[in-house]
């Protein structure tokens, strides 16, 4: 099937196990998915009590069966309608041959039939006296919808009530999907039924601000206890309701947790929060930034494939990509991202699967031209991955500039207090994995899931689903719930902290710039920086708080300087509340030759700073006494 047709069908198309159905109906569907406001859908789900499900199947592994079971569990009375199965029972309910044979009038008719058959069913629903006609994901019939609306019925097309209910009443965050719902009211399986009749499902505002999202996204009160701060779900596994429930979880046909290597409710809150801040579709959290990079590339790279990466990456990433990934037969070609022509040249080639850069690179104050890199990636049909660790979504949102995937070491500014390792992968949900044959893991049948095709079945949630269901399941670098909790806490104050980090860093950079013992300062926020203009475009709120400077006196002066610091801590980390200092030549880069050090931006005179949140006069006083 042409990808373009599938794309619009799958725009919200994350109904588990619907692949066949979508394939059957897609050719008759129009080219754009109808759009409905959250409030419209919520009002329907709240008003409805009885549903006739036309096309309900007695076969337990059919999507309609799961939808019916789900809706029953939410307190809806569901009457199955299916001439072929009439007289049989599905989930304790007698199957009726047609709508006119139902024992009573129902509020809503839910259509699990092909688009061309939906017209006749809609006319029967009007005659029957239903108030709502709901057509399932992939089912669109504009003429029928117009007839029903003319008679005063409300109509929803190309949606699944199960998905919408989960999304709007708070159950979808189990895999870190961005539900875009913000609510200070409890929402849960047990009480969702009551909640939909109260005002609890009201979203605060359609476009919440950054600070609101940092605090609230993903983090409604605990469904069971009402605890307002996100609890640490310190559990390895989760009970199944029954064997059927277990089967549908394992088949990825229903929402829920199985085992904490794959998903955990505390981590899911963090995933949704980061996804929301980056304007992504979903996120996968991992044990560290490095494991995020590994998992980000797993669905993309196969043995023999090539990754194009910037020469000015974080040092650990250069080693990971250049040395260890070779063991998977993943090749990495390092290119100078300041020279876009050479990026363009390198990106051509059938084995090239992705471009990887950093929005703001550690340590040299290097800023990437994300818009330009995105154009190059798009022109050859491969995704652009951006490590946004140093900038954080407060300073830069790479997806707005065309990045397809964003990765983070949450160890740094996101957790922010130097106390929790972690990583995150955010998917924009916009890359078309089926546009060429380059991405078999996502766009061809997956053996480990009975031939499931992730992209066909999960659409824009495919990459994130793969991250959990294959990446975390099979490689295992899962974030601990305690670390997820600490990172959630950190992100709540991200905006305040980043403002202060930047303000302090600017003062310190200017102080050093004018100091007679300092030969140069490499901070993208300074006008003399080569990256000042890119920083003005991509980092409008400031160029971060990590930068380097050159100390007069070379290696020996560098060693002496870090030893003299009293307030600044001499260690290998960044993004802490505390100010940190490092002399790379005598520590992280000491194994390299001097020439290698210089090309890595770690020459003998280089000092790296990560400016913290202390009183800025105290930071400067410490630097001053150490320089003296
Ligand atoms: C620290 C860092 C990483 C690696 O993250 P860990 O959490 O240490 O595994 C990757 N990229 C950048 C830019 C970093 O600063």
Q: How many CB atoms lie within 10 A of CB 216?
A: 18
292 CA: nearest ligand 1 atom: 9
Residue 582 belongs to what H/E stretch? Answer: strand 580-582
Q: Does ligand 1 lie within 6 Å of residue 610's CB atom?
A: no
The reported pLDDT for the residue numbered 59 is: 80
Residue 229: what pLDDT? 96
Q: Count Cα atoms within 13 angstroms, Cβ side, for 362.
A: 27
Distance 292 CA to ligand 1 centre (A): 9
316 C-beta closer than 6 A to ligand 1: yes
* pLDDT for 201 beyond 50: no
Is residue 415 over pLDDT 70? yes
Ligand 1 centroid to Cα of residue 313, in Å, is 10
Tokens standing for residue 169: 């009443």
423 C-beta closer than 6 A to ligand 1: yes
Cβ of 289 closer than 6 Å to ligand 1, yes or no, is yes
**SS3 at position 346:** helix
Q: At what angle do helices 340-347 and 370-379 cross, to 10 degrees?
A: 30
pLDDT band for 173, please (50, 70, 90 cuts). low
**Could you give the CA distance from residue 412 to residue 316 in angstroms, rounded to a whole number?**
14
pLDDT higher than 70, residue 520: yes
Angstrom CA distances, 316 to 56, 246, 363, 474, stand at: 54, 40, 12, 23
**Residue 389 CA: which ligand 1 atom is closest?**
13
Q: Does residue 97 have its Cβ closer than 6 Å to ligand 1? A: no
pLDDT, residue 381, reads 97
190: pLDDT confidence band, cut at 50, 70 and 90?
A: very low
Averaged pLDDT, 325-354: 96
Containing 599, the helix (H) or strand (E) segment is: helix 594-599
Ligand 1 mean position, distance from CA 484 (Å): 16
- Condensed to tens digits (0 to 9), the pLDDT of residues 422-477 reads 999 999 999 999 889 999 999 998 887 777 788 877 778 889 999 999 999 999 99
**CA-575 nearest atom, ligand 1:** 15
Q: How far is the CA of 463 from the centre of ligand 1 (A)?
A: 22
Strand partners for 446: 452
- Best mutation site among 274, 285, 289, 293 for ligand 1, i.e. most ligand atoms within 8 A of its Cβ? 289
Q: Do residues 258 and 457 lie in contact, with contact meaning Cβ atoms separated by under 8 Å? A: no
- Separation of alpha carbons 13 and 9, rounded Å: 6
pLDDT at site 172: 53
390 lines ligand 1 (CB under 6 A): yes
Q: What is the pLDDT of residue 223?
A: 79
Residue-level pLDDT at 527: 94
What is residue 219's DSSP assignment? -
**In this model, does residue 25 exceed pLDDT 60?**
no
Is the shortest distance between the CB of 389 and ligand 1 below 6 Å? Answer: yes
- The model's pLDDT over 552-585, given as tens digits with 9 standing for 90+, comes to 999 999 999 999 999 999 999 999 999 999 999 9
Counting other chains too, the contacts that 186-192 makes at CB distance below 8 Å and 24 or more residues apart are: 186/220, 186/221, 186/222, 186/223, 186/226, 187/220, 187/223, 188/223, 188/224, 189/73, 189/223, 190/223, 190/224, 191/223, 192/74, 192/165
**pLDDT above 70 coverage of the chain, percent:** 89
Q: How confident is the model over 322-341, as a mean pLDDT?
A: 96
Tell me: pLDDT of 14 over 60: no
Phi-psi region of 542 (alpha: psi -120 to 50; beta: other; left: phi over 0): left
The CA distance from 538 to 57, in Å, is 52
- Per-residue pLDDT at 607: 97
* 298 has pLDDT over 70: yes
Q: Is residue 387 within 6 Å of ligand 1 at its C-beta?
A: yes
Residues 6+ positions from 8 with CB-CB distance below 8 Å: 29, 31, 32, 33
User: From CA 391, how far away is CA 414, in angstroms rounded?
Assistant: 10
What does the alpha-carbon distance between residue 628 and residue 624 come to, in Å, rounded to a whole number? Answer: 6
Average pLDDT over residues 138-165: 90
Ligand 1 pocket check for 358: Cβ under 6 Å: yes
409 lines ligand 1 (CB under 6 A): yes
The neighbouring-strand residues paired with 405 are: 385, 427
User: Separation of 417 CA from ligand 1 center, angstroms?
Assistant: 15
| pLDDT tens digits for range 93-119 | 999 999 999 999 999 999 999 899 999
Residue 182 CA: distances (Å) to CA of 94, 215, 274:
39, 10, 14
Q: What is the per-residue pLDDT for 205?
A: 61
Q: List the residue whose alpha carbon is closest to atom 7 of ligand 1.
A: 289
pLDDT in tens, 376-407: 999 999 999 999 999 999 999 999 999 999 99
Task: Specify the higher pLDDT residue, 278 or 33.
Answer: 278
Q: Which of 285, 294, 315, 316 to mutate to test the pocket of ligand 1 (most atoms within 8 A of CB)?
A: 316
**pLDDT at 207 (0 to 100):** 85
Lowest model confidence (mean pLDDT) among 2-16, 273-287, 588-602:
2-16
Which pLDDT score, from 0 to 100, does residue 531 have? 96
The pLDDT value given to residue 12? 31
pLDDT confidence tier of residue 188, bands split at 50, 70 and 90: low
**CA 415–ligand 1 middle distance (angstroms):** 12
| Distance of CA 290 from the midpoint of ligand 1 (Å) | 6
Whether 359 lines ligand 1, by a CB cut-off of 6 Å, is no
Whether residue 315 has its Cβ less than 6 Å from ligand 1? no
Burial of 446 per CB tally in 10 Å (0-12, 13-18, 19+):
middle
Q: How many whole angstroms separate alpha carbon 343 and alpha carbon 347?
A: 6
* The pLDDT of residue 22: 31
In the predicted model, is pLDDT for residue 154 greater than 90? yes
pLDDT at res. 185: 82
pLDDT digits over 33-85, tens only? 578 888 899 899 999 999 999 999 888 666 688 789 889 988 999 999 999 99
> Please, what is the angle between helix 142-150 and helix 118-128, to 10°?
10
């Amino acid at each position: 099937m042409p990808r373009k047709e599938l794309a619009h069908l799958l725009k919200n198309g994350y109904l588990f196990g619907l692949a066949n159905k979508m394939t059957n109906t897609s050719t008759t569907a129009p080219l754009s998915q109808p759009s409905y406001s959250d409030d419209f859908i919520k009002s329907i789900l709240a008003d409805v009590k009885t549903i006739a499900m036309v096309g309900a199947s007695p076969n337990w592994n059919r999507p309609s069966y799961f939808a019916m079971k789900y809706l029953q569990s939410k307190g809806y009375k569901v009457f199955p309608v299916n001439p072929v199965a009439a007289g049989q029972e599905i989930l304790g309910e007698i199957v009726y041959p047609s709508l006119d044979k139902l024992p009573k009038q129902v509020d809503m008719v839910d259509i699990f039939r092909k688009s061309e058959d939906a017209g006749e069913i809609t006319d029967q629903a009007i005659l029957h006296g239903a108030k709502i006609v709901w057509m399932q994901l992939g089912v669109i019939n504009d003429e029928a919808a117009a007839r029903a609306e003319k008679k005063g019925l409300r109509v929803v097309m190309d949606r699944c009530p199960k998905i919408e209910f989960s999304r709007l009443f708070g159950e979808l965050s189990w895999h870190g999907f961005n539900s875009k719902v913000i609510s200070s009211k409890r929402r849960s399986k047990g009480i969702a039924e009551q909640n939909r009749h109260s005002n609890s499902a009201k979203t605060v505002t359609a476009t919440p601000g950054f600070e609101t999202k940092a605090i609230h996204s993903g983090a409604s009160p605990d469904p069971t206890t009402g605890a307002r701060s996100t609890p640490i779900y310190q559990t390895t596994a989760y009970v199944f309701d029954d064997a059927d429930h277990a089967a549908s979880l394992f088949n990825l046909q229903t929402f829920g947790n199985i085992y904490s290597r794959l998903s955990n409710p505390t981590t899911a809150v963090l995933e949704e929060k980061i996804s929301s801040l980056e304007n992504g579709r979903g996120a996968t959290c991992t044990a560290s930034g490095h494991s995020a990079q590994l998992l980000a590339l797993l669905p993309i790279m196969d043995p023999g494939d090539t990754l194009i990466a910037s020469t000015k990456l974080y040092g650990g990433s250069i080693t990971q990509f250049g040395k260890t990934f070779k063991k998977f037969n993943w090749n990495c070609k390092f290119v100078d991202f300041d020279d876009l022509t050479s990026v363009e040249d390198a990106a051509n080639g059938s084995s090239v699967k992705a471009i990887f850069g950093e929005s703001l690179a550690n340590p040299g104050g290097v800023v990437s031209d994300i818009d330009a890199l995105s154009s190059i990636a798009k022109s050859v049909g491969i995704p652009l991955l951006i490590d946004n660790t140093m900038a954080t979504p407060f300073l830069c949102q790479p997806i707005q500039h065309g990045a397809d995937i964003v990765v983070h070491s949450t160890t740094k500014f996101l957790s922010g207090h130097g106390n929790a390792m972690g990583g995150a992968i955010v998917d924009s949900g916009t890359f078309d994995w089926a546009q060429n044959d380059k991405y078999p893991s996502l766009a061809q049948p997956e053996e480990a899931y009975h031939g499931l095709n992730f992209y066909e079945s999960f659409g824009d949630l495919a990459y994130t689903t793969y991250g959990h269901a294959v990446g975390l399941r099979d490689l295992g670098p899962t974030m601990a719930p305690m670390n997820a909790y600490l990172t959630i806490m950190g992100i709540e104050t991200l905006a305040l902290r980043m403002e202060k980090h930047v303000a302090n860093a600017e003062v310190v950079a200017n102080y050093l710039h004018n100091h007679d013992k300092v030969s140069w300062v490499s901070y993208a926020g300074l006008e003399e920086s080569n990256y000042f203009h890119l920083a003005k475009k991509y980092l409008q709120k400031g160029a971060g708080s990590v930068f380097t400077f050159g100390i007069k006196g070379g290696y020996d002066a560098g060693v002496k300087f870090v030893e003299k610091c009293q307030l600044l801590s001499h260690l290998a980390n960044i993004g802490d509340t505390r100010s940190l200092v490092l002399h790379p030549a005598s520590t992280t880069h000491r194994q390299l030759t001097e020439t290698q050090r210089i090309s890595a931006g770690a020459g003998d005179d280089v000092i790296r700073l990560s400016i913290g949140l202390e009183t800025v006069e105290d930071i400067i006083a410490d630097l001053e006494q150490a320089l003296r």
